[in-house]
Amino acid sequence: MTAAPGPLAGVRVVEVASHVFVPMAGAVLTEWGAEVLKVEHPETGDPYRSLVTAGLHNVYRGVDPFFQSANRGKRSVGLDLKHPDGRRLLGRLVETADVFVTNLRLSTLRRLRLDVDDVRRDNPAVIYVRGTAFGARGPDADRGGYDTGAYWARSGMQHLLSPAGEPWPGPPRPAFGDVVGGLAVAGAVSTALYRRERTGEPSVVDAALLACGLWQVQPDVVNAGLAATDGATSAPRDRASVWNPLMLPYRTADGRFVALMVLAPDPHWPRLCEVLGRQELAEDPRFADLAARRTHAAECVAALDAAFAERTLAEWTRALAGFDGEWAPVQTPAEVHDDEQVRANGFVADVEMAGGFGLPMVTTPVQFDGRPGRPTRAPEHGEHTEAALLELGLTWAEIAEFKDRGAVQ
């Protein structure tokens, strides 16, 4: 059976971007059905490819999983945009496109004649999308940056999530802000396509890693502004003074954790006590309701700590299966990969690589019409150069001439 086309089928995107932030948006758009032409330098390609050589990325059977995730489903076209012929060929690709996306610095865009006015001369109807580290205006508009600095450090997130007393602030996970920012950009592209369909007006879309970081920690930023404080919520939390003991993680007998997230605990408290084998806690006046448990939080937390410490995580997972309150096991990435719920919903797919073997890939976190995402592999460097140029109407002889002049791969 042929797979149904994605909701963005027929949309063409030209991507002039590197690393993860904006390329991840292109990856999302391919999974939603769009065709994405990834323009790379004929010799060096996207610098993200070289991080394997530098030892910064793991390799599985000759494949870089990080690069695959950020470039799934794209077509790679090798063009030297500094070469006049390469820039002209890009213009011809843009003529056929609905969307142009980039994360080059603003000064580089001007130098390569890729700013809004230049690209709109190639195609007045194209939606123009630029991702920056710190925003398209202000004193740092032309500064480069990665998510570790713009999303994690400058947004306040690193401060907020670094435990007090540690000698150094904590690091983020790889591409921590890039993947969130890429998803936001993909949603913005979809919105711009809708606007153009309704009004005929093509948008200029700006997205910044710093803005994505602020969005992530907005309660802290807003409260800090209102209180004129530094929002220093990284201070050690006292489990004994929590307002709701059913909103904490609890350690199990095997050193694992169960995370309780029962925001409205009173209806669930008697059943939780039953599951824990501590029915007497449900009848204890100190724990009769939320207000009482808050007043006697230290005693309540201690009682729950003692109860959860009696069984392993696997035992608690089985025991809590029939508990209607909100809870989750604190899982390792390996456990998440094999989680039955993850598999049932298609949140991880096995993607066939060019070598004929499968590589696990996390699908985009939204689904259309009940169908999980169906990612495909990332392209080899310049894999689709000739095919894309032939589609523009160039002949093999013309392509050969451009190769001889160093404009294409």
pLDDT at 17 (0 to 100): 97
pLDDT at 50 (0 to 100): 87
379's CB contacts (< 8 A; 6+ apart) are 38, 71, 74, 75, 76
29 close to 192: Cβ distance less than 8 angstroms:
no
57 in the same domain as 88 = yes
211 in the same domain as 249 = no
78 close to 388: Cβ distance less than 8 angstroms:
no
Please indicate, yes or no, if residue 21 is contained in any of the structural domains. yes
Please indicate, yes or no, if residue 236 is contained in any of the structural domains. no
| Section 245-258 average pLDDT | 97
For the chain, the domain total comes to 2
CA 220 to chain centre: 21
51-104 confidence digits (pLDDT tens):
876 667 788 898 899 999 999 999 999 999 999 999 999 999 999 999 999 999
191 in the same domain as 307 = no
The pTM for the full model equals 0.92
| 210 φ/ψ angles, rounded to the nearest 5 degrees | -60, -40
Please indicate, yes or no, if residue 5 is contained in any of the structural domains. no
Task: Give the DSSP letter string of 306-358.
Answer: HHHTTS-HHHHHHHGGG--S-EEE---HHHHHT-HHHHHTTSEEEEEPTTS-E
187-211 confidence digits (pLDDT tens):
999 999 999 999 999 999 999 999 9
Q: From CA 251, how far away is CA 236, in angstroms rounded?
A: 18
The answer on pLDDT for 384 being more than 80 is yes
Token pair, residue 204, equals 């200029």
Query: Residue 240 gets which letter from DSSP?
Result: G
The answer on pLDDT for 237 being more than 70 is no
140 in the same domain as 76 = yes
Q: Pick from 330, 360, 384: which residue ends a domain? A: 330
Tracing tokens 């689904």 back to the chain, one arrives at: 367
Q: From CA 387, how far away is CA 19, in angstroms rounded?
A: 24
177 in the same domain as 34 = yes
Q: Pick from 283, 302, 330: which residue ends a domain? A: 330
211-221 confidence digits (pLDDT tens):
999 999 999 99
pLDDT at 59 (0 to 100): 86
Please indicate, yes or no, if residue 225 is contained in any of the structural domains. no
The answer on pLDDT for 2 being more than 80 is no
66 close to 179: Cβ distance less than 8 angstroms:
no
Please indicate, yes or no, if residue 233 is contained in any of the structural domains. no
144 in the same domain as 69 = yes
Please indicate, yes or no, if residue 339 is contained in any of the structural domains. no
385 in the same domain as 289 = no
253-269 confidence digits (pLDDT tens):
999 999 999 999 999 99
| Residue 234 binned pLDDT confidence (cut-offs 50, 70, 90) | very low
pLDDT at 165 (0 to 100): 82
CA dihedral 136, 140, 146, 152 (to 10 degrees): -100
21 close to 45: Cβ distance less than 8 angstroms:
no
351 in the same domain as 205 = yes
Please indicate, yes or no, if residue 235 is contained in any of the structural domains. no
Which CATH number fits the domain that encloses residue 282?
3.30.1540.10
316-355 confidence digits (pLDDT tens):
999 999 899 999 999 999 999 999 999 999 999 999 999 9
300 in the same domain as 366 = no
313 in the same domain as 203 = no
284 in the same domain as 203 = no
Q: From CA 2, how far away is CA 251, in angstroms rounded?
A: 48
| Residue 300 binned pLDDT confidence (cut-offs 50, 70, 90) | very high
pLDDT at 76 (0 to 100): 98
What is the residue range of 306's domain? 245-330
Which CATH number fits the domain that encloses residue 172?
3.40.50.10540
364 in the same domain as 322 = no
Please indicate, yes or no, if residue 237 is contained in any of the structural domains. no
